[in-house]
């Protein structure tokens, strides 16, 4: 088993800054997963693909901060991320969902591999967020549907129709 040296606080921070400057924001995020760095917001919550996210969020009519938060949570900015459920790319879209969105909105689609392309993934993901917000009527519900799926959210809502949303 290969052993790596333990970095002290200054070395860890230097590694984070270097990773961030090189565009390895996922590594910066994971290195900062420590209580000492809670206020280093620009490093912990990077705005990679900033222009693209801003443009596509505006086109979809959603708050760009929501799109940035989804990307940070779902993939930590790893453009070729894969989940156990086969969700792919920055916004962790399922290929079937992405294909439906692309057809509906006449967006480029060249199969599941195209979800590794940030331009395709962000365009589809921001439109999917808009679709879910329209369908469920609230951003917090749309976020739950995005993460767990619309069917799971519908089931939860049916089971707990009287539960306050802040519980």
Determine the distance from the C-alpha atom of residue 25 to the mean position of all C-alpha atoms in its chain, rounded to a whole number: 13
3-state secondary structure of 146: helix
Q: Which of 26, 71, 74, 124 is catalytic?
A: 74
3-state secondary structure labels for all residues of 12-33: HHHHHHHHHHCCCHHHHHHHCC
CB count, 10 Å around CB of 41? 9
What are the structure tokens assigned to 27, written together?
């590594």
Question: CA 67 to CA 45: how far, in whole Å?
Answer: 12
Verify whether residue 74 is a known catalytic residue. Answer: yes
Which residues sit opposite 74 in a β-bridge?
Answer: none
Q: Which of 158, 91, 100, 162 is nearest to 129 (CA)?
A: 91
> Which residue numbers are catalytic?
74
């Amino acid at each position: 088993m290969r052993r790596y040296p333990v970095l002290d606080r200054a070395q860890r921070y230097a590694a984070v800054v270097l990773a961030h400057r090189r565009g390895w924001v996922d590594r910066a995020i994971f290195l900062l997963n420590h209580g000492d760095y809670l206020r280093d917001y620009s490093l912990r919550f990077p705005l990679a693909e900033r222009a693209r996210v801003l443009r596509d969020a505006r086109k979809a009519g959603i708050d760009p901060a929501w799109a940035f938060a989804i990307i940070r949570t779902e993939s930590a900015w790893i453009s070729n991320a894969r989940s156990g459920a086969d969700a792919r790319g920055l916004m962790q879209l399922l290929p079937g969902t992405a294909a439906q969105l692309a057809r509906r909105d006449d967006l480029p689609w060249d199969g599941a591999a195209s979800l590794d392309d940030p331009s395709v993934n962000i365009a589809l993901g921001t439109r999917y967020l808009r679709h879910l917000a329209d369908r469920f009527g609230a951003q917090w519900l749309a976020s739950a549907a995005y993460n767990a799926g619309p069917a799971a959210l519908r089931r939860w809502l049916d089971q707990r129709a009287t539960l306050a949303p802040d519980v």
